[in-house]
Amino acid sequence: MAVQVAIDHELVERMIHDLARYGAWGETGVVRKVYTPEWAGAQQQVMRWAEEAGLHTWQDAVGNVWARLQGREDGPSIVTGSHIDSQAPGGRFDGALGVIAGLVALRTLREQFGTPRRTLELVSFCEEESSRFPATNFWGSRAVTGLIGPEEPETLRDYDGVTIADAMRAVGLDPGRIPQAARDDIEVFIELHVEQGPILEQQGLPIAVVTGFPGIRHYLVEVRGRADHAGAMPMDLRQDPMLAAAEMISAVIARAREIGRPAVTTVGRVLVQPNFPAIIPEKVSFTIDVRHPDSARLADLCAAHEQTLRTIASRHGRATSWQITTSHPPCSSDPELVRLLVEAAAEQGIPATTMPSGAVHDAQRMAHIARVAMVFVRSVGGRSHTPAEFTTTDDAVAGIRVLAAGLRRLAY
């Protein structure tokens, strides 16, 4: 009978509650945007917990927090973790549960099994959600994988116009040191994360091992018109961008609905300028988030959406342009790691399945430098990216037991 990993249920529950205090939003939500005081407080809390667990901690040049359990042997590290920033507002589990899980797993392994053969590390990535800066997309894990361009710190601006370089300086970080955050000594990255969808709940299972990640593309579309009086300007003389924009938005969403799973298309942000009831808009801008696990199908879906934008723009005679602000290909988990985690769940007596992720994750960035896999934990009601997000502590503990058992197989 395999050794059962025992996880302290109360400790997990307390850590989830305590971390959610940093950027608390209403009863159950959080708003924790990168390089804000609540973000800094949460990262310091992670460092304190790691030090209490006897781990060596440091913060890298972009603000990722690391904790290390040194192995007896030299060689590349086996890393677990997730992100500490949140959507605005988001839930208290997205990202945070993966950081807590990694902390508790390393603390438990050290207490129950002593010094590992291989070095184990936890990472709390500084920024995955792009909830403050529209186009950082995976700032923390892109820094670790050396994928931040030299021009980005002084050009990426948040929704209030602050550059990410200035935001870093405001919390004592030097954007000039970003290249020092790159790592080339990580062999494995395993991330625990809430599923953020309804599949595990529909299957009545607490855990899944993730087999792959979707490709994603974000568009920012601008439809231009002319501001005029909402009452005095006759309908037949207007240059109103709203009609074309509304048609475009409904057309791209309708297409994804028609294609069906696993294609998805979301218009989550619409900006009307100048945005007053009695003014015909000058400009309507909106985002389109397009995802598909197959790169060819993603490309086809994006091409069809772009053609729709062109057709509707010309039918209405509205000047329309767009920029692609995020573009990442799909990627697969390492099959060996998937097998190892499925076996770890079985050895711990925890029912689990395998499934593709609908969300994108830091693990996809880490696949540039390491073998990756993820452990999903059931989301109650399939809810996420909302304060309504919830995962039971029992399911969280089950996920941490699978994570710890998997890390034990790799590192002891």
> What does the binding site for ligand HGY look like in residue numbers (CB under 6 A)?
128-129, 359-360
State in angstroms the smallest separation of the CB of 386 from Mn ion: 10
Asked whether the bond before 198 is cis by omega within 30 degrees of 0, the reply is no
Nearer to Mn ion, 57 or 386 (CB): 386
* Contact in structure between 28 and 390 (CB atoms under 8 Å): yes
Q: Indicate which single residue of 38, 60, 85, 94 sits in contact with Mn ion (rule: CB under 5 A).
A: 94
Rounded to whole angstroms, the Cα distance separating 192 from 39 reads 20
Nearer to Mn ion, 94 or 127 (CB): 94
Comparing CA positions, the residue from 154, 159, 101 lying closest to residue 129 is 159
Rounded to whole angstroms, the Cα distance separating 84 from 75 reads 27
Rounded to whole angstroms, the Cα distance separating 260 from 272 reads 30
Q: Which residues contact 383 (CB under 8 A, 6 or more apart)?
A: 91, 389, 390
Query: Between residue 368 and residue 407, which ones bind Mn ion under the rule CB under 5 A?
Result: none
Strands 279-280 and 120-125 turn out to be: unpaired
State in angstroms the smallest separation of the CB of 314 from ligand HGY: 32
Binds 175: which of Mn ion, ligand HGY, none (CB < 5-8 Å by kind): none
In sequence order, what are the beta bridge partners of 207?
352, 377
State in angstroms the smallest separation of the CB of 383 from Mn ion: 12
Tokens of 262: 């696993």
State in angstroms the smallest separation of the CB of 137 from ligand HGY: 8
Comparing CA positions, the residue from 201, 214, 316 lying closest to residue 265 is 214
191 binds Mn ion (CB under 5 A): no
Nearer to ligand HGY, 39 or 49 (CB): 39
85 binds Mn ion (CB under 5 A): no
Nearer to Mn ion, 89 or 116 (CB): 89
Binds 195: which of Mn ion, ligand HGY, none (CB < 5-8 Å by kind): none
Which DSSP symbol is given to 237? G
Please report, for the chain, how many H helices and E strands are present, in that order.
12, 20
Radius of gyration of the chain (CA): 23
Nearer to Mn ion, 302 or 360 (CB): 360
10 Å Cβ neighbour count for 43? Answer: 23
Position of tokens 């990472």? 123
- Say whether 402 sits in a helix, a strand or coil: helix
Options 45-53, 95-103, 281-289, 404-412: segment touching Mn ion (CB under 5 A): 95-103
Nearer to ligand HGY, 129 or 152 (CB): 129
State in angstroms the smallest separation of the CB of 129 from ligand HGY: 5
Nearer to ligand HGY, 153 or 215 (CB): 215
Options 31-39, 89-97, 369-377, 387-395: segment touching Mn ion (CB under 5 A): 89-97
Q: Indicate which single residue of 95, 153, 215, 387 sits in contact with Mn ion (rule: CB under 5 A).
A: 95
CA–CA distance from 298 to each of 121, 260, 294 (Å)?
A: 34, 13, 6
State in angstroms the smallest separation of the CB of 131 from ligand HGY: 8
State in angstroms the smallest separation of the CB of 408 from ligand HGY: 28
Comparing CA positions, the residue from 75, 72, 46, 76 lying closest to residue 59 is 46
Options 86-94, 181-189, 278-286, 334-342: segment touching Mn ion (CB under 5 A): 86-94
Nearer to ligand HGY, 92 or 401 (CB): 92
Nearer to ligand HGY, 55 or 373 (CB): 373
Binds 309: which of ligand HGY, Mn ion, none (CB < 5-8 Å by kind): none
Q: Which residues contact 315 (CB under 8 A, 6 or more apart)?
A: 244
Binds 360: which of ligand HGY, Mn ion, none (CB < 5-8 Å by kind): ligand HGY
Comparing CA positions, the residue from 137, 84, 89, 88 lying closest to residue 289 is 137
Binds 95: which of ligand HGY, Mn ion, none (CB < 5-8 Å by kind): Mn ion
Interface with Mn ion (CB under 5 A): 94-95
